[in-house]
Amino acid sequence: MILFPMSKRKLLTVSVYLAAALLAFFSFFGVIYSAWPELSDSDLPVLTLEGVSDGGSYTGVISVTFSANDATAGIGRVRIRIDDADVYDKAIGAKSWFDGSEIDTSGLREGEHRLTATVTDSSLWRLKREVAVAFTIDRTPPRLSVSSFKTTVLQGDTDGLVISVNEKLSTLKVEALGDSIVCHSLPGAENRFRALFGVSPLAKPAVYKVQCVARDLAGNVTSESVLVTVAAKKFPFEVIHLPKEKQGILHNTAKITEDREIVAAALASAGDVQLWRGTFDRPAPGIDSSPFGIRRVYETGGTASYHQGIDIANKEGTPIAASNAGAVLFAGKLYVPGNTVILDHGQGVVSSYYHMKALGVKKGDVVAKGTVIGWMGTTGLSTGNHCHWQITVGGQCVNPDDWRQFSYETEDE
């Protein structure tokens, strides 16, 4: 075979034609590729699943929502499975898809399961996105152990429940004497709680059912109750004689309202961590000039009420100490209580000290039991040098002397 060499001119011409042909081919292919999303799509579709959380516990009907979108090739097919069983498998043929479903779990055994959603787009590559969550079917109600600190409590004293449960809860509610009681975790204990409540000195003596309702993470509910007897206590009655310069204090409703608002704002920052340890101490030496719960009325008029603390009288300047460890919620002057310190002992327990001559702490200080927080005086609505010592539990004023006998701690604290 004889080859005839091609001239350089012809070779150049052929090369130009070949390059033009290749350019035209790839340009045409690029146009087709760009115009055909099913061919050009390289992004995975987007898929979201809401209503079932990974590791969550459920019972009954579960409301679940699924959504998927693919702006380029569109959604081709959606498949949803629980374990190995299909609960949904359909062709879609749209850019986006949404489904809100209610999954009846009555046919599922108790224990662990897996919910898997898979979406496939409409591209030639059939790109897939999969979302899977593990969940537990739980139909067993939580087990509660409930006991009270006291079976009989005097008017004006404190009581509470100790609650143990075998699993994590979504809610734990306690109702006592017509009020909702806040439950707090016991220090260093898992799934153990304390619910303290104060009994008003005006509470009717009777046997009361204290109800505890627990709901676990799956929604199963258990309730337990204990009976608590509120026993009568005799409280004396007194008439308060105010000096002339202080007789107008009780009638200044604007200032009294301002006091209440300041105290409420301070109490709003109280903490959930128990700070007190053991029983409480008297904050100052002296005589009890007015006991807790005494029924009283002022000679200048006003509503009859009961004394919400204990008045300890001594000479001016007597040191006043924190009755237990706590954080200072308020240290300042109020209209009726005078110079005041309010201590947060945690978990709804608060002590207050009124009518001081001078303050020894400031807001935010953390003090130990026995720390001097001020000095005795007669500021505010007071008839002589004394410290009004007050303890509240969940907002209810209670007898401070009760806390000198009971710590309301458990044996393992």
Lowest mean pLDDT among 22-31, 255-264, 360-369: 22-31
pLDDT digits (tens, 9 = 90+) for 149-197: 999 999 999 999 999 999 999 999 999 999 999 999 998 888 999 999 9
**What integer pLDDT is reported at residue 2 of this predicted model?**
43
Percent of the chain topping pLDDT 70:
86
Contact by Cβ (8 Å): 118, 86: no
Q: Around Cβ 201, how many Cβ atoms within 10 Å?
A: 22
Higher pLDDT, 151 or 34: 151
Mean pLDDT value of segment 281-304:
81
Q: Is residue 32 pLDDT above 50, yes or no? A: no
Mean pLDDT value of segment 249-255:
79
**What integer pLDDT is reported at residue 16 of this predicted model?**
57
**What integer pLDDT is reported at residue 73 of this predicted model?**
86
Lowest mean pLDDT among 176-190, 245-259, 386-400: 245-259
**What integer pLDDT is reported at residue 29 of this predicted model?**
47
Domain annotation for the chain: domains and CATH numbers: 46-137 (2.60.40.10), 144-231 (2.60.40.1930), 237-405 (2.70.70.10)
User: What pTM does this model have?
Assistant: 0.79
In this structure, which amino acid lies at residue 154?
L
Q: Is residue 14 pLDDT above 80, yes or no? A: no
